[in-house]
Amino acid sequence: MERWEYNRLPKGNGARPELDPILNCYRPGLARIGPPLLVPAKSVVVRIDSESVPAPGGPASMDAIQIAYAPHKVYMLYQYNQEVRQIFTDGRKHPEVDEDDLLTMWWNGYSTGTWDGDTFVVNTTNVRNEAWLDNAGHEYRKLHLVERIRRVDGDTLEIDRSFTDPTGMAKPYATHATLKLSPKLTFQENVVCDQYYVRKVGFGFGGLLGINDHPWQSPEENPNATWQDVDKEEQKDGYK
């Protein structure tokens, strides 16, 4: 609660955007990329004719994902920020978390997958704790995510997600999404940290302070005017 109060606006229930990891050019973290997408509308931009503009169809259009298979692992690719997850299916265990070693934690966590009948069950731990759980400023420290992914029919995918955190959540937080197959889906280029933030939003890189302190600085305290674009990738199959 104390962390959430710190992230809130001085008055009201909204979060302070200058403290939002996404609006300071950090990755959203597994909880917020969804689906369904739980990121601020201002962070969802695409590039059309070299100009950054809001996503056609609004933030919900960024819910599209693609699932690819490889030996002993599954890849999940998200349209939002072209995020990529590896889900290991070779029976391995989750690595031990060392809070002093960032190499034991990931923005999207460490995921393992098994089958329960026709449902693919994904367990994710080792999530970096700088990310927010939602747009209201809630944080977490020992997040555990269980996803149950089931193909209802040839054109429909259902994903149920359950988040638990014994240090930051009184009860599990659950989401449900139903996605439809889009055989000709082409990902729109979506670069979270491009010059849109300088010209339209006014945010820039914030600066990572550390795990045990509040991780963000305001852009005024730590400006950084360097930017990097990501090449556009086209995907043949996916769900949205």
pLDDT value for 4: 67
Rounded CA gap, 85 and 123, in Å?
12
Using an 8 Å Cβ cutoff, are 2 and 199 in contact?
A: no
Peptide bond before residue 71 is cis, with ω within 30 degrees of 0: no
Contact 23, 42 (CB under 8 A): yes
Give residue 219's pLDDT: 38
Question: Poorest-confidence range of 21-25, 47-51, 115-119?
Answer: 47-51
Burial zone of 67 (CB within 10 Å; 0-12 exposed, 13-18 middle, 19+ buried): middle
Kindly give the residue spans of alpha helices, DSSP state H, lying in the chain.
Answer: 2-7, 30-33, 196
Q: In angstroms, rounded to a whole number, what is the distance separating the alpha carbons of residues 162 and 123?
A: 10
Task: Give the tens place of pLDDT for each residue, 203-229.
Answer: 444 433 333 344 443 334 333 333 232
| Phi, psi (deg, nearest 5) at residue 51 | -115, 135
The pLDDT assigned to 178 comes to 95
If you average pLDDT over each of 19-28, 83-92, 95-104, which comes out highest? Answer: 83-92
Based on DSSP, count helices (H) and strands (E) in the chain, helices before strands.
3, 10
Beta bridge partners of 115: 120
Are 119 and 136 in contact, with CB atoms under 8 Å apart?
no
Distance, CA of 63 to CA of 163 (rounded, Å): 19
Question: Taking residues 58-63, what's their average pLDDT?
Answer: 85
Helix (H, G, I), strand (E, B) or coil at 8: strand
Q: Rounded distance, CA 113 to CA 107, Å?
A: 18
Half-sphere exposure of 167 (CA within 13 A, CB side): 9
3-state class of 108 per DSSP?
Answer: coil
Mean pLDDT across 122-133: 89
pLDDT value at residue 224 = 37
Query: What percent of the chain has pLDDT above 90?
Result: 35
pLDDT band at 176 (very low <50, low <70, confident <90, very high): very high
First to last CA, the chain: 34
What is the per-residue pLDDT for 229?
29
Task: Tell me the mean pLDDT in the region 21-34.
Answer: 84
In this predicted structure, what is the pLDDT of residue 13? Answer: 67
**Which range, of 1-15, 160-174, 219-233, averages the lowest pLDDT?**
219-233
- Which of the listed ranges 52-61, 84-93, 180-189 does the model predict with the highest average pLDDT? 84-93
d(CA 122, CA 88): 9
Pick from 111, 126, 34: nearest CA to 80: 34
Residue 148 has pLDDT above 90, yes or no: yes
Between residues 78 and 8, the one the model is more confident about? 78
3-state DSSP assignment of residue 63: helix
